[in-house]
Amino acid sequence: MKKAFPILAVLTATFLGYAFYLAMFVAPTDALQGDVYRIIYYHVPSAWTAFLLFFINFIASIQFLANAKPSTARAAKWIVIVIGILGFVAPFIPQVKQSLPTGMYPSSVATTAVIIVGVYFLVGKYFPGQNLDILALTAAEVGVVFCTIVLITGPIWARPVWGIWWAPGDIRLTSTLVLWLIYVSYLVMRRFSDSAQTQKLAAVLAVFGALDVPLVYFSIWFFRTQHPQPVIGGGGSIDPRMLHVLLLSWMAFLCFAFLICWTRFRLEKLRREVEEAEALESLLESGGAAESSARAKIPLSRGPR
């Protein structure tokens, strides 16, 4: 896996370069906004990537809390499955379909439900134990970076197009700001915490943050209906050629995000292994007790691979 990294890095760089070329030169100029709109190819993919990463953090945090006891772990798995089934079936029932807000298609709700279940079980399978917490941390950190990009490119885009840096009622930008604030506070809390249970406390905070997001959305949504605001990012249908470039741009961003997350993950994993090895050494120092079995589990030096 490690050998693949340089190759993937080169591929990703190429992909990003290609996406840039498409964004700047191939995509057609917008009828209304001119060339300024091209920032969308950085703004929107960053947003989608950030949301995906925060979503992964949320799933990892919930699992981390649930896995504290076998009974809660099992209960959580069943709840997720139920959510998946309900979320997949319910939107197609006529009564439910009618009560969906405009813009939310039944198929997207169904897909989201399936994705939730899928991500939950994938994360559970490939990131056991401590790795779950490392994944949560990594996703939060990289997510904050991409979220920062969204918050910077948003106003840069808004200013020439609408003459304002920020629209308080813009639901997407404001929700993104709150999400950014929540996750920055998450990272600060992790850094400042002296507790032995920092990981659990951070997971608790992530849950609070996740509960908050829909409430933020609704509060701003209603506020906006009372105070109509320009919608940064443009509503309405999008030219298929632009959509094509947008999606490709997003793919490139995802590859890039994946590489960064992978690097950060490995770094954190190594850091923790070093810490454990040091603690283990201090444990064995004064001719300690039956720790030889523990010694076998943690290689104190990495042999040739």
Chain residues that interact with other proteins, rule: CB under 8 A: 65, 178, 181-182, 184-185, 188-189, 192-198, 200-201, 204-205, 207-209, 211-212, 215-216, 218-220, 222-223, 226, 275, 278-279, 282-283, 285-286, 288-291, 294
Residue matched to tokens 């930008």: 173
Instruction: For the CB of residue 212, give the shortest distance to other proteins in the complex, in Å.
Output: 5
Query: Which among 250, 21, 56 has a CA at the least distance from the CA of 138?
Result: 56
Query: Which among 281, 261, 263, 262 has a CA at the least distance from the CA of 273?
Result: 281
* Inter-CA distances, 223 with 170, 174, 216, Å: 10, 12, 11
Which is closer to other proteins, CB of 56 or CB of 182?
A: 182
Which is closer to other proteins, CB of 128 or CB of 288?
A: 288
Instruction: For the CB of residue 202, give the shortest distance to other proteins in the complex, in Å.
Output: 10
Which is closer to other proteins, CB of 131 or CB of 193?
A: 193
Which is closer to other proteins, CB of 12 or CB of 199?
A: 199
**Residue 261 has which token pair?**
């997350």
**Residue 98 has which token pair?**
């009618």
**Residue 28 has which token pair?**
């057609």
Which is closer to other proteins, CB of 52 or CB of 205?
A: 205
Instruction: For the CB of residue 233, give the shortest distance to other proteins in the complex, in Å.
Output: 21
Beta bridge partners of 30: 34
Report the C-alpha gap between 107 and 196 in whole angstroms.
44
DSSP 236-282: S---HHHHHHHHHHHHHHHHHHHHHHHHHHHHHHHHHHHHHHHHHHH
Instruction: For the CB of residue 182, give the shortest distance to other proteins in the complex, in Å.
Output: 4
Instruction: For the CB of residue 260, give the shortest distance to other proteins in the complex, in Å.
Output: 24
232 three-class SS: coil
**Residue 194 has which token pair?**
């002296």
Which is closer to other proteins, CB of 19 or CB of 220?
A: 220
Query: Which among 252, 239, 253 has a CA at the least distance from the CA of 27?
Result: 239
Burial class of 207 by CB neighbour count within 10 A (0 to 12, 13 to 18, 19+): middle
Instruction: For the CB of residue 64, give the shortest distance to other proteins in the complex, in Å.
Output: 11
Which is closer to other proteins, CB of 36 or CB of 187?
A: 187
Which is closer to other proteins, CB of 19 or CB of 60?
A: 60
Instruction: For the CB of residue 283, give the shortest distance to other proteins in the complex, in Å.
Output: 5
Report the C-alpha gap between 80 and 12 in whole angstroms.
34
Report the C-alpha gap between 218 and 87 in whole angstroms.
20
Instruction: For the CB of residue 248, give the shortest distance to other proteins in the complex, in Å.
Output: 33
